[in-house]
Structure 1
Amino acid sequence: MLLDMIPDMPDMIEECKMWAPKSYQEHFADSTFKDKLLAVEAYDRVPTKFRRPFEETINHLNTLILGGVAKLEEEIVNGADPALTTEHVKAISRAAQALMDCANAIIHGSNRAMAQVEIDGLLGGT
């Protein structure tokens, strides 16, 4: 992730700020995946019991990343201790990975979304 480069290259925050969330359909439509149209069409047929927790998880991931980038930018602009910024980058990356792991599990058949207390713990750790 670009975020992981920020402690060594604080100017990478500008690249991170250019990132914007995409829907599942937008992600595949913009990809080079050979069967991207099939992936988009299949997503429209995903049962709600899988789709809802997946979309909730992705929304939490997007919130984490957007909020984390804003927080890191503020730290960089205000000249925060680089060690603190490094710790915040690590916390954001760990939380993002946990959410991506959850999304991956849903893609592969789990309908378990993270409990709100788990999400609050991840978002509070940034």
Structure 2
Amino acid sequence: MTRGARSDASADRFRPEALAAANINPVTRLATDYLNHFNNVVMLLELVPDMPDCVEEVADWAPVAYDDYFRGSHFRERDLAIAAFHAADPEVRAVFDATVTHLDCAMAEAIDLAVQHDPTDPEIAFRIRSFVKDRLKPLISAASGIVNASPHLLSPQPDSGSDEQAAVDELFP
């Protein structure tokens, strides 16, 4: 195959219609399927106070890189998801990666809280639920907004004195 034919095949592979059909955002070239890695554990964390046996499943969670998640998944277009991620705008990937790093850290804190303490204790149960609601879900929403090309998340950051910047700062203390 000639070099020109390879770039045509690559360009064809990343056509917006092909990406959308594969459930990959054509603008960001990211797939929301990756966020299931977090969503599944968040659902379990919400159950832990009432079903403490779920702690074992929660404790098994570990951060997984985007590529590794798709390599190990049953996602039909996993190879395309990985290739599209590497072809994504580096600035979009940097914002996404930073958000995922914050999410990984917050998830580790929540898991530690559930594993190191009695999740059936009303105070601990309240703390777990609050952590999920106030930290994990907003971070997952932020990551989803990046994947789905929410304009305010992909545009240059506002001045540090703005309400939008205050909201971002609140997400990433």
User: Normalising by the residue count of structure 1, what TM-score does the alignment of the two structures yield?
Assistant: 0.82
Matched AA of 2:168: A
The residue matched to 1:31 in structure 2 has which SS? Answer: coil
Identity of aligned residues (%): 25
Q: CA deviation at 1:81?
A: 6.8
Q: CA deviation at 1:28?
A: 1.4
| Higher relative contact order structure (alpha carbons within 8 Å, sequence separation ≥ 6) | 1
User: Normalising by the residue count of structure 2, what TM-score does the alignment of the two structures yield?
Assistant: 0.61
4+ runs of 1 displaced by more than 4 Å?
Answer: none
Q: CA deviation at 1:68?
A: 1.2
Partner of 1:85: 124
Once the two structures are superposed, the pairs formed by residues 1-126 of structure 1 within 5 Å of their partners are: 1-76=43-118, 82-94=121-133, 95-110=135-150, 111=154, 115-120=168-173
Q: Is the 8 A contact 1:72 1:88 kept in 2?
A: no
Structure 2, unaligned stretches of length 5 or more?
1-42, 158-166
- Aligned mates of 2:120, 2:63 — CA distance in 1: 29
The aligned length equals: 117
Structure 1, unaligned stretches of length 5 or more?
121-126
What is the CA RMSD across the aligned residues, in angstroms? 2.0
- Aligned mates of 1:4, 1:53 — CA distance in 2: 27
